[in-house]
Amino acid sequence: ERLDAEGWAAARDWGLATIVDLRCPYEIGWRDGDPAPLDIPDVTVVNAPTEDHDDEEFRRVCFPILDSPEYWPHNLRILPALVRTTLEAIAAATPGVLVHCSAGRDRTGMVTALLLANAGVEPDLVADDYELSVRAMAGTASHQPTHDRQSTWTEAQVDAWIAEVRPHVAHFVRDVPALLDNIGVSHETRDQLRDLLVG
């Protein structure tokens, strides 16, 4: 919604072919101040949310920690079919693929952590990637209808947060094959996802 014609042209020049949008349907749409909607040829947009904000258990367990990777294992446990469907959508996408949510660090962070670990990236490096996302987005307003406390954080707040949550990221990806088994991701899908990154 926030890309203008120049931004879309740059994305097409980069090779963008598919967007996998992790947001819930109610988060999607143009708001005041967004550029006018454009018809973007040759770019497929797939909505594949990882969360269901109407699910009572998800709300109760995850909402208090929704901006922390601490919620990622709960998301897989409570809504395994949604996360599996998201990964299948990415695997089936035409490269180049852009995966995003509203702030680019929580849902996108979870999916990216799964993709990187599935491709053989070590847990500490996956945590480094998450840290880069948090640092890039801190102090930046996200495109979501709810409040994002990290949008006002200082560098010192980010440093403290990273020190607190890095262990959650590394622990989450410690045994990704087991996580993917638990949510029913096929080996064919895992191979397709790996090939998108290293093939």
Task: Look up residue 36 and give its DSSP letter.
Answer: P
- How do residues 89-114 score in pLDDT, each as one tens digit? 999 999 999 999 988 889 999 999 99
- The one-letter amino acid code at 88 reads E
- How do residues 131-160 score in pLDDT, each as one tens digit? 999 998 876 666 555 556 777 778 898 899
Residue 74, domain extent: 5-198
Q: What is the pTM of this model?
A: 0.92
Q: Which residues contact 89 (CB under 8 A, 6 or more apart)?
A: 20, 46, 48
| Rg for the chain, CA atoms, rounded | 17
3-state class (DSSP) for residue 23: coil
- How do residues 7-57 score in pLDDT, each as one tens digit? 888 999 999 999 999 999 999 988 888 887 777 778 999 999 999 999 999
- The one-letter amino acid code at 3 reads L
- Asked if residues 138 and 188 have their Cβ atoms less than 8 Å apart, the reply is no
What distance in Å separates the CA atoms of residue 117 and residue 111, rounded to the nearest whole number?
10
User: Structure tokens of 44?
Assistant: 């497929």
What distance in Å separates the CA atoms of residue 67 and residue 55, rounded to the nearest whole number?
18
| CATH number of the domain where residue 170 is located | 3.90.190.10
pLDDT for the residue numbered 2: 82
Provide the number of structural domains found in the chain: 1
What distance in Å separates the CA atoms of residue 131 and residue 165, rounded to the nearest whole number?
9
